[in-house]
Structure 1
Amino acid sequence: MMHTYALPHIERLEPYALGEQPKPGRTCAKLNQNENPYPPSPAVLEALRSMPEESLRRYPDPSAGALRAAIAERTGLAAEQIYCANGSSEIISLLFKVFVGPGGRAAVAEPGFGLYQTEAAGHQAACIPIPLLPDYRLDIDGLLSSGADALILIHPHAPTGLLTNPEELERLVRSFQGLVVVDEAYIDYAPAGSSVLPLIEQFPNLLVLRTFSKSYGLSGLRAGYCAGSRELIAAFAKGGGIYNVDALAQKLALAAVRDDAYMRGSVARVVATRDAFAGELRRRGYDVLPSSANFVLCAPPVTGPDARTIYRKLVERDIYVRHYEHPRLRGLLRISIGTDEEMEWLRRELDALASNSG
């Protein structure tokens, strides 16, 4: 057998499983990766068109200084409390490299975002799964009693879309002596005042992750950041690479941050569609968790086809939603919120599947 030359723990690694990708050249509704259905700000597109040639042949600002300053202004933090990276996925990898390390233990809510387990295994760290409560909410006490070196939670949680009570989150951060990582990829879709960013000044063990992939509509760009105490961010800078945020990403992300009003308008459209679609599902007998993200997690009515059958039939119709084999999720579908037209297409197909099953 050919030698791969990879380290043994990498050989054993289970890669993160992405949602099924659409077939090239076909019109589809891609509702399985929680992308923004609307384009980024016109300011971003103008920044792209005006990108000077010099910026491409010179190395970018290694500190992403202008972008960090703009994020700091928006969040009310200092630039020294912001670290920018090549998407929040790079930050997830770095937090295991810098703060957990080989033999370290991180507790994560299960089921959740599988990339955390993948990155933990890649850095020879252990992930301690803390099952969600029967109502799919986070088990705060279970996380606190896990014996882990770090706690990782998603707020709102994925794939449920549920928010955790702010007082409970503060209790967790206050009670835990190690690092607490709060992934706020979907926070812009949650009610105002839901973020834990204001707690950073009070708790030096709190690290908050953010991405440009969701509310800013820049999944194809790869840009993200984390916020925390100056000491945490300085450690990230030591452990991170150089030039990890390219010049194009810095310029376009900066334009996006500066057009906050456009992002808010885009979010409002998605939230309105989300709430209307959830209501339509409930009227059809679906059990839908109350979502504060840009997706819904739902169980089909027991009188019709099951979740896996619906998933397969929708793929045949060029509609892509997410179905998981995890025992807690096997009977559920996670549906990203698309345009009103895409959601209407999905509703028609769901109705057709229900009629055919009868």
Structure 2
Amino acid sequence: MMGNRESEIGKAGEAWAEALAMPAVRGLRAYDPGHDLVALRRRFAPGGLVELGSNENPYGPSPRAREAAAVALDELHRYPDPLGGDLKRALAAKHDVDAAQIILGNGSHELLMQLAQVFAGPGVDVVMSQFGFAVYAIATQAVGANLRVAPALPCEAGMPRGHDLDAIAAAITPATRLVYLANPNNPTGTWFAHDAFAAFLARVPGDTLVVVDEAYAEIADAPDFGSALPLLAAHRNLVVTRTFSKAYALAGLRVGYAIAHPDVIALLERVRESFNVNAVALAAAGAALGDDDWLRDTLAANATQRAALAAGLRERGWRVSPSQTNFLLVEFGGHTARIEQGLLERGVVLRPMGGYGLPQCSRISVGNAAENRALLAALDEFASDSGLVATDEHGVAR
């Protein structure tokens, strides 16, 4: 009898399991990483794949972080510090806050999910911007909350597809408990000015949490950009998340953090998984945080290469959005899918943007000088082989 039952379950397949899931989860789509990078690495010779799809720091982590990670390996048989005390204290000193205002996460992704888990649910509104980071929508839908998406700035604006703070404010309702923003924003690379955000925050009701995702904040150097961190003291409904995956080049270790009012952090701690940040990550992040010289040098290299790559793409006729990150959003129009595939065949990985509602664009990480040259060379080769010509939105050659 059991064999027959298992057979019936097998026939039902995913539909059987889905029927057991909560309604909110049934409507979810899993996070799309863009490509199976492990398979691609195996396909190309060692070092032959140019990976420009995941916004990683191509220069690698601080030597101090490497050394600290190596030392931590001797204690792999021990559980990590469940409180992350040393790293919290280092972060508190760096940002001039109390350690009770900090929670650590397995990357900032985990914290963004936990914020929805704690503060949203059925009957609650969550607001985000069009073209905002995909995790905001996933976090909202996973808890059965109602997602309200504010329209982004128009393409012809100074910050094309960037956050429209007025539209976001207008989307807030009495049922809104969370607003997700990214500054600078992934995947557009755009940013909003510190003064504009301060004015926006003053308009938000005190019982609505505003989450500012600053994954790329260390990279931003525009004169009008400013972190939301200085506003924390005056706004108990403000939450700022950051990560060591981007500027600090520790993407493989997955460690992030949030800074907020101690009462907010205490609630998040109730759902935090025990030992959620591993011992190697804790050690490496703490060491990286103290290496200001290395951070300054790697950020300078990124700024130089970002400008050079943007210039090279524009010289070839492609539209490049302004960016304060370590990536560029490039508009290839109707050629996008062909270009992405053509470059992939030549060992260069870009990030498709169809899942973000931007099928006419590709997101390109800023690599080192050699990687950026390889990208432009592959693009030139593909253009020559296929007769590709950059065109505007009407199909007219630029």
Question: TM-score normalized by structure 1?
Answer: 0.94
Q: Secondary structure at 1:35's aligned position in 2?
A: coil
Amino acid at match of 1:313: G
CA distance in 1, matches of 2:151, 2:312: 30
**Which of the pair has the greater relative contact order for Cα pairs under 8 Å at 6+ separation?**
1
Q: Secondary structure at 2:266's aligned position in 1?
A: helix
CA distance in 1, matches of 2:273, 2:35: 31
Q: Percent identity?
A: 35
CA distance in 1, matches of 2:98, 2:293: 22
In structure 2, relative to structure 1, the CA distance for the partners of 1:102 and 1:246 (3 Å cut) is farther
CA distance in 1, matches of 2:356, 2:84: 42
CA shift at 1:242, angstroms?
2.1
CA distance in 2, matches of 1:285, 1:210: 35
CA distance in 1, matches of 2:359, 2:26: 28
2:25 alignment partner in structure 1: 10
Structure 1 stretches of 5 or more lacking a match? none
Deviations 1:278-326 (A, max 9, x none): 11111111111111000011223x7xx7112111111111111012225
Match of 2:36 among 13, 21, 29: 21
Amino acid at match of 1:152: Y
Which consecutive aligned stretches of 4+ in structure 1 deviate over 4 angstroms post-superposition?
Answer: none
CA distance in 1, matches of 2:314, 2:28: 39
CA shift at 1:328, angstroms?
5.1
1:153 has 2:181 as partner: yes
Structure 1, 246-255 or 271-280: larger mean CA deviation = 246-255
1:238 alignment partner in structure 2: 270
In structure 2, relative to structure 1, the CA distance for the partners of 1:328 and 1:222 (3 Å cut) is closer
Q: Secondary structure at 2:180's aligned position in 1?
A: strand
Amino acid at match of 1:203: H
CA distance in 2, matches of 1:152, 1:176: 13
**Over alpha carbons, which structure has the higher Rg?**
2
CA shift at 1:57, angstroms?
2.7
Kept in 1, the 8 Å contact 2:72–2:279? The answer is no
Deviations 1:146-176 (A, max 9, x none): 1232211110011111110211111121110
Q: Secondary structure at 1:207's aligned position in 2?
A: strand
In structure 2, relative to structure 1, the CA distance for the partners of 1:99 and 1:9 (3 Å cut) is closer
2:197 alignment partner in structure 1: 169
Structure 1, 340-349 or 21-30: larger mean CA deviation = 21-30
2:231 alignment partner in structure 1: 199
1:127 alignment partner in structure 2: 147
Q: Secondary structure at 1:129's aligned position in 2?
A: strand
1:267 has 2:299 as partner: yes
CA shift at 1:327, angstroms?
7.9
2:211 alignment partner in structure 1: 181
In structure 2, relative to structure 1, the CA distance for the partners of 1:102 and 1:276 (3 Å cut) is same
Question: TM-score normalized by structure 2?
Answer: 0.85
Kept in 2, the 8 Å contact 1:39–1:217? The answer is yes
Match of 2:258 among 218, 226, 230: 226
Amino acid at match of 2:66: L
Deviations 1:228-273 (A, max 9, x none): 1222222222232222122222111111112122122112111110
CA distance in 2, matches of 1:84, 1:186: 17
1:324 alignment partner in structure 2: 353
1:297 alignment partner in structure 2: 329
Q: Aligned residues, how many?
A: 354
Structure 1, 68-77 or 216-225: larger mean CA deviation = 68-77
2:133 alignment partner in structure 1: 113
CA distance in 1, matches of 2:246, 2:209: 25
Deviations 1:58-115 (A, max 9, x none): 3322211110011111112121111111111110110011112333211111112111
Deviations 1:325-350 (A, max 9, x none): 25852211210011110100111111
2:59 alignment partner in structure 1: 38
Deviations 1:24-67 (A, max 9, x none): 322211101111111111111111222264x3333322211110
Structure 1, 162-171 or 211-220: larger mean CA deviation = 162-171
Match of 2:371 among 342, 345, 358: 342
Kept in 1, the 8 Å contact 2:54–2:365? The answer is yes
Root-mean-square deviation over aligned CA pairs: 1.7
CA distance in 2, matches of 1:87, 1:24: 24
